[in-house]
Amino acid sequence: EGSRRSNLLNAAARLFREKGFEATTVRDIAGAVDMGSGSPFCHFRSKQHILGCIVQEGMAAALASVETLMAQH
């Protein structure tokens, strides 16, 4: 379950970078991970929710990196 969600987020992030947020559809994201077009909605409420999760995970990863660097000094 978690890996499918993660796969969706990774595919969405790549597609958003390549095509832009507006041009990317949920169908595009689902197709990139070999899911049916409605399947992402089992994990996310909307395309905007997917983007929010990408941003949130990116910020968490950045914060973890900064905390690791701070602990080393």
pLDDT at residue 1, as a whole number: 62
Mean pLDDT of 27-34: 98
Give the predicted TM-score (pTM) of the model.
Answer: 0.87
Percent of the chain with pLDDT over 70: 99
- What's the pLDDT at 73? 83
d(CA 21, CA 25): 8
Could you tell me what percent of the chain has a pLDDT over 90? 96
Q: Please tell me the distance from the alpha carbon of residue 8 to that of residue 29, in angstroms, as a whole number.
A: 7
Chain centre to alpha carbon of residue 26: 12
